[in-house]
Structure 1
């Protein structure tokens, strides 16, 4: 098969004929997008900004990984997690009224057909080619199709097992990285797991029976309450009074004003270019990863804490090695990272869908210079502990729930402003028959010259890059849940917009993986590549302990 099927309209058609059991007329459920969900949805409409994929590479018996079995599992999961099978509806310009809508399948067979129409099997293409198409080709997803699945069967080598890739694509407004990993584990558990301890792997018939049971338990009797999971913002405390709301906004603004950052990667000179996401992966073997974990533990930090400083040192070394970079040690360096909101939720029913967006963000600020009197290793680990302190103080603050609400509102306001500009530009383009103008890269931040009597000078507040760190995903992918499946790789990334840049990291099967993605044409040639080289050297020098020549400042 060489082409992806055409997307469904979003509503599952009722079954035809009276011979099929369990067929009934289904209601449509809807929910307004939250501020944070809206901030992801609106920028994604034109180019698929931040659409993400999860990839699972594994070896398994061929009889275990058929198209039919994969579709049965996909159908069960789509029943359990309604956002996967939903769509987003919004009238032109009515940004605050954007709605998730979900029309459940009218029968188990309808659920299976929906899964089949939202998946595709390839035997003549490689996973890397499909991922390249997803990242840099025409957009695969849309407001009418919020998820999709590819199964790739690799060349058969004559062994009793075969290597496969399952790639699942999502719009970012319906999930985050943790939810995507959890869903991947559930998928593999259904595909290669058993109904109970000591029992064999589920047969096709058992999966079919499970699909029917799943549909019957949810839709044998039509539910009156919405099945779409409530947003993260509804699961954490909000302001109880007008005074508390105003006070939280004042605190949030004061906190944001303290985040200073004056470093960015230099942009390419051309203003007319096509966005192209490039992904580069680095992995460290088990011995190296063990050394990394041991060293971080001895220094009382996590790998995530240390990776911020790795980027800090890598940037300083890049600046020193490329004299042409316009930068200053006067300004600190800022990075941002996602934080999961799930640990802060109140207890929810065990059978409720976990598949929804539940992240907020925090900034980390570090100096952009090194003291001349201290050993670099001592400075490195001292800064790693400083990163840990910044993160702990932010997460444990009693203001965190209010900060989450205020940040979500700010992101939504900003997204709506840009969406209005985009829509007006698109409308003008349609009326004049001119091709759309590609978005221009953001100019470097500058501190404007103050007037003679200005009481305050504004400093730049821009992040060098973002980090998304999952720590040890072996806690999620429990191998004993699918003993006949040998999972060898899990990964993923996002579709970038102009100037986008993000570093993913996790530990899997005892190996540390770093996955760096950036919009390659946006930056001056060689600069990002040099930075990425310095990241690898920095991990080896400071965290593994193997010194390299040529890495000194």
Structure 2
């Protein structure tokens, strides 16, 4: 079958299609600026799956990738940094269907190698992304050979297609963190597989590309918000009164002062950063039993993992019992956005908040009872953070502070003098004069919940997903624990710089985390 590249709908003259741009928000800038040198926080999502070879040939994947880049233009944008205060997404709609396919083709790669090699290269090799390419797809098959592009064949639900062998493939979806977050990655992956493994053949996908391109060109010509707004612009507006702004700043300061933690892994120096991601899945039947046990104790798996990390540290630490242990985590801010600006345009935007869980650092005398008590305490703290009436003001203030700090550090990195200090518009009264307590976090937890609620496996029956790993390029001395359920299994992984910490301590801690899952969840 020959795939037509000619539009079936008349579109405006391509040379008159304007480029769209918008400023990066404070939270986006706080992720962009540290990433410039070596891609700190560049995200990846790996999915291992079985599928007939014709579903992942380059011509089909390129069509789907082109469709999704038109639906979500931030994926196909570039970054224009004119100044520390003037950083922009710039999106130039492809002037033709052929250009849309070429753009998609330049932002994808077929490689040999297994998932471990692909992930290691992404995390520790030269940076894959840059200012002119902020998203990328990488596909491989386990056999270690790049996938060919055979002639077009019948649709994936044709009986012959479904009877073919389903070899293993590995997909890496790569994106900068200022472009989006974990929810965007997983929602995108579900849409991607819905098109790859759906009923449409390549001719029908070509028609869908044509329709999507015409819609994108029309939106660009009409100037109808081609680029999705930032999270800060989607928040309910503040009252705007000076007194309210001062009150919000005082609340933010007081909340920050409650974040007390005095524990950290011993550091190691002298070697270049090298991130590893040991990952352990638990069988589906055991996962089901774990979920049941957590429910019986009134907590979720996520709350239990906070307590498991806490008990594992109590069994590893070498003192400082008088100071509590603090862990940080991300909070999905999408439920708190204005309804009319929430998700109708695109889900690709960065929408994360932050909260901490603080637990005692000593080992309880009754470890089993103490574990469940601390799991419930973690649940209370997580719920309090998510349901606080001050959540949005705190997120707004945190974004502002992160933006200020990131710009300051970027100027220092670049050897640029800071701008003259401006008088604050609304001075904040000192909350108290007591010495600040330590606020060191031991570890970060990214608890993604039940990802099977996002992936609609029934929509791509010829695809069998079996493995999911996620993470990001780290700075030296970075560490983040991931916990989620996928394909009916609980997965726990620890992404960390193995050269940035005292190796024996981290290995002992990780083994105690896994032993704690066995001990407390069964």
In the TM superposition, what whole-angstrom CA distance separates every residue of 1:317-349 from its partner, at most 9, and x where no partner exists?
112xxxxx4x40010000000000011112237
Write the distance in 2 (CA, Å) between the matches of 1:100 and 1:455.
42
Write the distance in 2 (CA, Å) between the matches of 1:455 and 1:36.
29
Query: 1:227: which partner in 2?
Result: 226
Structure 1 contact 471–506 (Cα < 8 Å) conserved? yes
Structure 1 contact 21–107 (Cα < 8 Å) conserved? no
In the TM superposition, what whole-angstrom CA distance separates every residue of 1:338-378 from its partner, at most 9, and x where no partner exists?
00001111223764111111001001100001343xx2111
Structure 1 contact 156–162 (Cα < 8 Å) conserved? no
Structure 2 contact 50–169 (Cα < 8 Å) conserved? yes
Q: Matches of residues 338-357 of structure 1 in structure 2 within 5 Å?
A: 338-348=330-340, 351-357=344-350
In the TM superposition, what whole-angstrom CA distance separates every residue of 1:141-192 from its partner, at most 9, and x where no partner exists?
1111101111112329997222111111101001101110000000000011
Query: 1:308: which partner in 2?
Result: 306
1:282 aligns with 2:268: no
1:511 aligns with 2:489: yes
1:81 aligns with 2:72: yes
In the TM superposition, what whole-angstrom CA distance separates every residue of 1:226-250 from its partner, at most 9, and x where no partner exists?
3111011111124211111110000
- Higher mean C-alpha deviation, range 332-341 or range 345-354: 345-354
Structure 1 contact 316–368 (Cα < 8 Å) conserved? yes
What is the deviation of 1:458?
A: 2.9
In the TM superposition, what whole-angstrom CA distance separates every residue of 1:423-452 from its partner, at most 9, and x where no partner exists?
1189xxxxxxxxxxxxxxxxxxxxxxxxxx
1:328 aligns with 2:337: no
What is the deviation of 1:417?
A: 1.6
Write the distance in 1 (CA, Å) between the matches of 2:144 and 2:444.
39
Write the distance in 2 (CA, Å) between the matches of 1:141 and 1:533.
34
Write the distance in 2 (CA, Å) between the matches of 1:109 and 1:535.
51
Write the distance in 1 (CA, Å) between the matches of 2:369 and 2:6.
74
1:387 aligns with 2:378: yes
Structure 2 contact 315–363 (Cα < 8 Å) conserved? no
Q: Matches of residues 436-447 of structure 1 in structure 2 within 5 Å?
A: none
SS at match of 1:535: helix
Structure 1 contact 73–207 (Cα < 8 Å) conserved? yes
Query: 1:131: which partner in 2?
Result: 119
TM-score normalised by structure 1 residue count: 0.84
Query: 2:439: which partner in 1?
Result: 461
Write the distance in 2 (CA, Å) between the matches of 1:80 and 1:461.
42
Structure 1 contact 40–172 (Cα < 8 Å) conserved? yes
Write the distance in 2 (CA, Å) between the matches of 1:357 and 1:290.
32
Write the distance in 1 (CA, Å) between the matches of 2:42 and 2:283.
30
- Higher mean C-alpha deviation, range 533-542 or range 384-393: 384-393
What is the deviation of 1:310?
A: 0.6
Write the distance in 1 (CA, Å) between the matches of 2:405 and 2:322.
29
1:105 aligns with 2:110: no
Q: 1:51 aligns with which of 42, 62, 66?
A: 42
Write the distance in 2 (CA, Å) between the matches of 1:239 and 1:33.
20
- Go from structure 1 to structure 2 and tell me whether the alpha carbon gap of 1:483 and 1:294 turns closer, same or farther (over 3 Å shift): same
In the TM superposition, what whole-angstrom CA distance separates every residue of 1:19-70 from its partner, at most 9, and x where no partner exists?
x985612211111111111110000000110101011111111122210000
SS at match of 1:169: strand
Query: 1:174: which partner in 2?
Result: 179
Aligned residues: 482
Query: 2:242: which partner in 1?
Result: 242
SS at match of 2:471: strand
What is the deviation of 1:282?
A: 1.0
Write the distance in 2 (CA, Å) between the matches of 1:112 and 1:252.
47
Structure 1 contact 52–171 (Cα < 8 Å) conserved? yes
Write the distance in 2 (CA, Å) between the matches of 1:379 and 1:236.
39
SS at match of 2:93: coil
Write the distance in 1 (CA, Å) between the matches of 2:464 and 2:280.
21
Query: 1:369: which partner in 2?
Result: 362
What is the deviation of 1:220?
A: 4.2
What is the deviation of 1:418?
A: 1.2
In the TM superposition, what whole-angstrom CA distance separates every residue of 1:114-141 from its partner, at most 9, and x where no partner exists?
000110112x333322211110011111
Write the distance in 1 (CA, Å) between the matches of 2:410 and 2:480.
23
Q: 2:520 aligns with which of 539, 542, 549?
A: 542
In the TM superposition, what whole-angstrom CA distance separates every residue of 1:272-314 from its partner, at most 9, and x where no partner exists?
4311111110111112111110011011111111101110011
- Go from structure 1 to structure 2 and tell me whether the alpha carbon gap of 1:104 and 1:328 turns closer, same or farther (over 3 Å shift): same
Structure 2 contact 287–488 (Cα < 8 Å) conserved? yes
Q: 1:165 aligns with which of 166, 170, 176?
A: 170
Query: CA RMSD, aligned part only?
Result: 2.3
- Higher mean C-alpha deviation, range 148-157 or range 215-224: 148-157
Structure 1 contact 335–464 (Cα < 8 Å) conserved? yes
Write the distance in 1 (CA, Å) between the matches of 2:412 and 2:271.
20
1:147 aligns with 2:135: yes
Write the distance in 2 (CA, Å) between the matches of 1:393 and 1:62.
48
Query: 2:256: which partner in 1?
Result: 256
Query: 1:4: which partner in 2?
Result: none
What is the deviation of 1:17?
A: 12
1:502 aligns with 2:480: yes
Structure 1 contact 278–517 (Cα < 8 Å) conserved? yes
- Go from structure 1 to structure 2 and tell me whether the alpha carbon gap of 1:21 and 1:151 turns closer, same or farther (over 3 Å shift): farther
Structure 2 contact 51–168 (Cα < 8 Å) conserved? yes
Structure 1 contact 238–401 (Cα < 8 Å) conserved? no
